[in-house]
Amino acid sequence: MPLSTSPRTRVAGAGTAALRRRLHEEPGTGEVVHAGASAIYVRLRDRVVGVAARGAVHVPATIATALSRLPDVAVGAPAEVADGALHVAGLSVSVDRLVPTDLPALPPEAAARLEAVAPDLGPARDQLPAAALEALAAGDPDAVASLLGRGDGLTPVGDDVVAGWLVAARGAGRPRDAVADAVRRSARRTTALSATLLLEAVEGGCIPEFRSLLLALATGRDVPAAAHRLLAVGHTSGAGMLLGTTLALRS
């Protein structure tokens, strides 16, 4: 189905430099794979691009806007990336403001700082095989196949754990190439959105709440508050990322 030729409402948004570059360098057509008042996600070839309303979780592949709610649109509706913008649901959304994405180097003390907070990770841990979690803690790439697509949530909790491990291991300076390669090979085991976020995590991409936790672990300041904010993300997403972080920081 072709896109409507009616005028689109231009909306300025915030996103990563990588997302802005993609919007300019990879034009194409796709379709809506998730639609809601707070977020719309569009599949374009092998990746997903999204637009989010004010207050929604700002995932790396999404353009955050100041809109209070997004227009109604059906799953399967056409969408397009052209002229540096995402065109969907009568909107033309571009990345006009860049968000910080740099990650801090985590010191050896980061593990103890997180352990002292003792967040409740049961909602994530209880859905996943214990042997796979132990393997991931050791950096074993075989853990990836046992975790991707496992658990509930728009992004399955097993995926959130692996994404958290990838980003935290990067900050901690742990070898992670083998796990990253396994993620690239196995990304199709899970949803299109989650696969995109996993590939972003391979490059160090994460939500702002996760980056804030890593900054707190690096400095030792406001760790309990940062952990609480991340834990509140989604039904189990924040817990999954925290669990992945604890596994990555285990010596």
pLDDT at 118: 84
Judge whether residue 28 has pLDDT over 80: yes
Q: What average pLDDT does the segment 198-225 reach?
A: 97
Are 181 and 225 in a shared domain? yes
Q: Is residue 236 part of a domain?
A: yes
Q: Is residue 105 part of a domain?
A: no
Residues contacting 143, CB < 8 A, separation 6+: 132, 133, 135, 136, 162, 179
Judge whether residue 5 has pLDDT over 80: no
Range of the domain at 167: 110-249
Are 243 and 119 in a shared domain? yes
pLDDT at 2: 52
Are 202 and 162 in a shared domain? yes
Are 148 and 92 in a shared domain? no
List, for residues 224-243, the tens digit of each pLDDT value. Answer: 999 999 999 998 999 999 99
Q: Is residue 159 part of a domain?
A: yes
Q: 98, 132, 147: which is the final residue of a domain? A: 98
Helix (H) / strand (E) containing 28 = strand 28-35
Are 183 and 241 in a shared domain? yes
Are 202 and 154 in a shared domain? yes
Q: Is residue 2 part of a domain?
A: no
Q: Is 11 helix (H, G, I), strand (E, B) or coil?
A: strand
Q: Is residue 3 part of a domain?
A: no
Q: Is residue 184 part of a domain?
A: yes
Is the Cα dihedral 21, 25, 171, 57 positive or negative?
positive
pLDDT at 106: 97
Are 68 and 146 in a shared domain? no
Are 122 and 149 in a shared domain? yes
List, for residues 117-160, the tens digit of each pLDDT value. Answer: 988 899 899 999 999 999 999 999 999 999 999 998 789 999 99
Judge whether residue 4 has pLDDT over 60: no
Q: 72, 98, 124: which is the final residue of a domain? A: 98
Are 121 and 245 in a shared domain? yes
Are 128 and 27 in a shared domain? no
* Angle, CA 154 vertex, CA 150 and CA 158 arms, to 5°: 25
Number of domains in the chain: 2
* CA–CA distance, 207 with 231 (Å, rounded to integer): 12
List, for residues 34-93, the tens digit of each pLDDT value. Answer: 999 999 999 998 889 999 999 999 999 999 999 999 999 999 999 999 999 999 999 999
Closest CA to 65 of 92, 47, 33, 26: 92
